[in-house]
Amino acid sequence: MKSLGEFIVDKQAQYPDAKGDLSGILSALRLAAKFLHRDINKAGLIQDFLGEAGSENIQGENQQKLDVIAHNTLKKAFLARDDVAGFASEEEDDIVIFESEKGRNAKYVILTDPLDGSSNIDVNVAVGTIFSVYRRLSPVGEPVTLEDFLQPGNQQVAAGYVVYGSSTMLVYTTGNGVHSFTFDPSVGVFGLSQEMVCIPEDGTLYSINEGQYLRFPQGVKKYLKYCQAEDEATNRPYKSRYIGSLVSDFHRNMIKGGIYIYPSATSYPNGKLRLLYECNPMAFLAEQAGGLATDGYQRILDIEPTELHQRVPFFVGSKNMVETAMQFMSDYPDEGLTP
């Protein structure tokens, strides 16, 4: 078994021009994931880990106790490193500036959804952690600014997620393919599961909250009917699979082939998923694995962010399935969000 640490060292040897700047960040993520693996797997035994925390995040969503725990765990892990100048999270209203001398001299900023799908914790369903890494724009030696975080996704230098399911897996990319690692708690090591993960160009799975069907744009409604229609040549009808955790749904579709859609709707006309710490990192992973990610009309990674918690519609997964969904969106451009 090749460990994550050994894998990183091997990659640095293969690319002699690489300085290994991201190694410390990946080490921090690896350590935080071990702590969260432990806490999530004990959640049913420790009362303070289950249920709502009694507070809301900036989006007005009820925070779960483990949301807060995951947020604090990640922030402490990055704060302890020399590599991170600032931190942004779904659970924090504003950016967190690491004011120490090593923070001011660090080259990177991190955006994260500390515990995606956390409402599933109480019913023992898979959840995840999403992360996105950018090289700062502000001068090294000074505190970072909001502009360091408001970069389009095509400027990411690394992204990934940890999925806490039947096993805990860390999946990441630094722009040279997607690699997955499985945690062995008996020895405390993430071992290589698959190098150069590829999303099948076609799939038979679609993932969407169909309970919101009446609120979707006509293009999405028409695409769902297409997914449900019988056609032997295209292996339809497709199978509907929706967990309600972006990490879990994305991971399944990446392995088996499929499309994940969280569109705009009359109740959230700009979409619901956050561009910077949900859609951008997943889009980077999808493209590196041979898939596509769009807002229904344009590439996610080319969207210029205007605010930290910006929301966008999200279509991601197998290349041919996403392209077909985009065609349906283009065929019904003027229907709007009419029930």
* C-alpha–C-alpha distance, residues 295 and 275, integer Å: 10
Predicted pLDDT at 334: 59
* C-alpha–C-alpha distance, residues 67 and 64, integer Å: 5
Delimit the CATH 3.30.540.10 region(s) of the chain: 4-194
Task: Say if domain 205-331 classifies as CATH 2.60.40.10.
Answer: no
Average pLDDT over residues 302-327: 98
Predicted pLDDT at 164: 95
Predicted pLDDT at 123: 82
166's CB contacts (< 8 A; 6+ apart) are: 126
Q: How far is CA 57 from each of CA 17, 98, 262, 289, 327, rounded to the nearest angstrom? A: 41, 21, 20, 32, 35
Predicted pLDDT at 22: 87
Residue 229, φ and ψ in degrees, nearest 5: -75, 150
CATH architecture under which domain 4-194 falls: 2-Layer Sandwich (3.30)
Predicted pLDDT at 108: 96
Q: How confident is the model at residue 40 (pLDDT cuts 50, 70, 90)?
A: confident
Burial class (CB in 10 A: 0-12, 13-18, 19+), 29: buried
Q: Give ∠ CA 335-266-61 in degrees, rounded to 5.
A: 155
Q: How confident is the model at residue 41 (pLDDT cuts 50, 70, 90)?
A: confident
110 neighbors 97 (Cβ within 8 angstroms) = no
Q: How confident is the model at residue 64 (pLDDT cuts 50, 70, 90)?
A: confident
Predicted pLDDT at 1: 87
Ranges 118-132, 210-224, 229-243: which has the least confidence: 118-132
Predicted pLDDT at 15: 62
pLDDT digits (tens, 9 = 90+) for 265-285: 988 999 999 999 999 999 999
Per cent of the chain over pLDDT 70 is: 91
pLDDT digits (tens, 9 = 90+) for 71-114: 999 999 999 888 999 999 998 999 999 999 999 999 999 999 99
Select the highest-mean-pLDDT range: 62-76, 89-103, 249-263.
249-263
pTM of the entire predicted model? 0.93
Q: Per this entry, what is the length of the chain?
A: 339
Q: What is the mean pLDDT of the chain?
A: 91
* C-alpha–C-alpha distance, residues 193 and 190, integer Å: 9
Average pLDDT over residues 291-316: 97
Delimit the CATH 3.40.190.80 region(s) of the chain: 205-331
In 3D space, the residue among 290, 283, 293, 302 whose CA is nearest the CA of residue 132 turns out to be: 283
Predicted pLDDT at 119: 77
pLDDT digits (tens, 9 = 90+) for 160-199: 999 999 999 999 999 999 999 999 999 999 999 999 999 9
